[in-house]
Structure 1
Amino acid sequence: MSLFFKNYKPNTSIYNRQVLWRCNSTTATQNTEDEEEFRVLDILKKRDRQQKRVVRRIEVQPDRTTKMKPDQNWGNVWPGPRSFHPASVPLPLRQGYVPKGQAPPGKYANAELMKIPNFLHLTPPVIKTQCEAIKKFCTEWPKLLNSEEAIEKHYPVEIITSDYCHGSPSIRNPLARIVTLRIKLSSLNLDQHARDKFLRIVGDRYNETTDLVTLTADRCPVRKQNLDYVNYLLTASYHEAWTYEDWETEKTEQDMEYYNWDNNASKRSLVDWYLKVNNDDRSLTEEEYKAFDISVIPHGVEYKDAVYSLMNDGESDATIKNYATAVRKLLGLPVKVDRDV
């Protein structure tokens, strides 16, 4: 092994070629970098080339309020709903909260006046002009509806709704969906059975003093749905009141919810007394008693109403007094007059 290394000689030609290639590649890289070097940016020379900017002053026109005339047409200035603009409103408006002792902020740069809706476009002259413009699209008021009684007779149903105007992201107000229907009970075509059943269906929605039935709906999200619902309630209650169930035909006087004077002994006693006074000895059947017309008896209808009120409304000073007066008139006795002591 030692003899081999002693006699070994490297190939110097290959080594020299590698060194020469490395030197040539290094020189070529330096020349390339010299050619691709960035140019120097001379800021001072660029500033000299720039022109000086000329500041232009904008002439601000005076507010429109300074040019307005007192007799101008306000409808042309503010024709429709819009946000508040201080330069177009010739009024010293103020809005906002400030500490005590200071005046509220003025109309210029006042965000509070821009938040709330305004009705500056609804002045009396503008409303009159708009009404004159839409009058040609309206129909005349019916001549027969010249009184409240005529209106209640031909249009007994009354619909009550409310509209709200407020500044918010949504124009809908939850209270605007509520619909109230009112109608007088006397406007409905009901007999004694149907009237009693209808009153039991509506419950406390009936007011005896005003004779009004009030139905209110607010369960639906839209007013139109609540309007359809109250109409449905009135229609369903009316038809249900006229319905006769099978078990109702088997009811006796002891099962009745109210006192029916025509089916009780009070009417038979009155009819028998009237026949005896007129020397009529005929005997009537049960059906003839029910069908007997008591209007032929003097003060018979007044007596019937007095007994009906006494039995159904309960005993009170008024019902007892009416009953006593009706009995005296029926028997031909003088009516007792109350005198102040």
Structure 2
Amino acid sequence: MLANSQRFRVVKLLASYSSTDAANTDFRVLDLRKGAGGDGLTSRSRFQRRSEVGPQLLPPRETRMPIDQDWPSVWPGPRSFHPASVPLPVRQGYPARRLDAPPGKYANAELMKIPNFLHLTPLAVQRHCQAIKKFCTPWPKVLENDDACEKHFPIETTTSDYLHSSPSIRDPLGRIVTLQVKLSSIPVEGRARDKFLRLINERYDPKTDLVTIVTDRCPTKKQNFDYANFLLTVVYHESLKEESWESEKCTLDNELFDWQTSASRVSIEQLSSRNKNLEPEHVQLYSEALTKLMDKGEDQETLADYKERTLRMLGHSRN
């Protein structure tokens, strides 16, 4: 039961609304579908459903690329792989199942790990060459063939570069440097040549006349390159030095047979002074056969050649 004062307030509140005011007022309605946490009273204008419009996504760039596009402008420099910019069906990685194809280029982390050479297309290389052409000088006319190049640049250096997927770009095999030079291009003769061969030891190949120095002690390629040139320089200058004890060297200590200092040459000169018919050409052939016999060793070929040259020198024909 309401008290008299409360009844008076309710009647007064209802009387304050006239018929004109009730038509123009937006009354709150009771919404029974609202959760228990609210008061159930809401306005019609507050809960008007809005249509959600998502972002407008453009199609991939590869679908909009023309066939005759300028690729060096699309991929001007080295960068990680971007699937939407490469109009190629590239695949990389292991499939989830055995019979499936390798994963495609979209959302493929394997393609972003490895370096690519999409910026080194033939057209891009040609443009780079044209850009730096103004800084180049004409090729020297004296280096028209390989023999001239070998004469003026006798030292040949070989190195290797490796590309692989790894936390470090350095490869242990990339530091190895191989230096090769022909012994005939090194100005050493006689005693110096013999000493040079003894210092270089097994690094000299008599069949190809090549001296090969391989360096891999230093951690970088540049350091090994400098070390190889240092070794060649030191061996050359040491071979030119003549120590006091080297004068004690005799003929038996020679690594190869030397016709000029041999006792056979003295005997042939004495024979030539007594026999005027001894031809110098036959003496030269005899010295070559004797040198081959002493250096290579005795076998059927060297003994037969030595016998024939000796008989010719003495003026006898072969039976």
The question of a shared fold, defined as TM-score above 0.5 by the shorter chain, is answered with yes
2:62 to 62, 65, 85: 65
Corresponding residue for residue 262 of structure 1: 260
> Mapping of 1:168-187 within 5 angstroms?
168-187=166-185
Amino acid at match of 1:169: P
The whole-number CA distance in structure 2 between the counterparts of 1:315 and 1:152 is 36
The whole-number CA distance in structure 2 between the counterparts of 1:53 and 1:316 is 107
Q: Quote how far apart the aligned CAs of 1:251 are.
A: 2.7
Cα 1:129–1:153 change in 2 (3 A) is: same
Amino acid at match of 1:163: D
The whole-number CA distance in structure 2 between the counterparts of 1:216 and 1:272 is 49
Q: Quote how far apart the aligned CAs of 1:106 are.
A: 1.0
Higher helix share: 1
Corresponding residue for residue 236 of structure 2: 238
The whole-number CA distance in structure 2 between the counterparts of 1:279 and 1:208 is 37
Q: Quote how far apart the aligned CAs of 1:230 are.
A: 0.8
Q: Quote how far apart the aligned CAs of 1:320 are.
A: 2.9
TM-score (norm 1): 0.74
Q: Quote how far apart the aligned CAs of 1:87 are.
A: 0.6
Amino acid at match of 1:316: D
The question of 1:109 aligning with 2:92 is answered no
The whole-number CA distance in structure 2 between the counterparts of 1:130 and 1:111 is 31
Corresponding residue for residue 285 of structure 2: 302
Q: Quote how far apart the aligned CAs of 1:91 are.
A: 0.7
Q: Quote how far apart the aligned CAs of 1:78 are.
A: 0.9
2:179 is paired with a residue of what secondary structure? Answer: strand
- Whether the 8 Å CA contact 1:274–1:297 is kept in 2: the answer is no
The percentage of aligned residue pairs carrying the same residue is 51
Q: Quote how far apart the aligned CAs of 1:89 are.
A: 0.7
> Mapping of 1:16-95 within 5 angstroms?
55-95=52-92
Cα 1:88–1:325 change in 2 (3 A) is: farther
Corresponding residue for residue 224 of structure 1: 222
The whole-number CA distance in structure 2 between the counterparts of 1:173 and 1:119 is 20
Amino acid at match of 1:84: F
What runs of 5+ residues in structure 2 fail to find an aligned partner?
Answer: 1-36
Corresponding residue for residue 331 of structure 1: 314
Corresponding residue for residue 3 of structure 1: none
Question: 1:183-240: CA deviations, max 9, x gaps?
Answer: 0011111112222211111111111111100001110112221111111111111121
Q: Quote how far apart the aligned CAs of 1:321 are.
A: 4.0
Cα 1:199–1:318 change in 2 (3 A) is: farther
User: Cα RMSD over matched residues?
Assistant: 2.7
Cα 1:82–1:308 change in 2 (3 A) is: same
The question of 1:156 aligning with 2:154 is answered yes
TM-score (norm 2): 0.79
The whole-number CA distance in structure 2 between the counterparts of 1:137 and 1:328 is 67
Question: How many pairs align?
Answer: 278
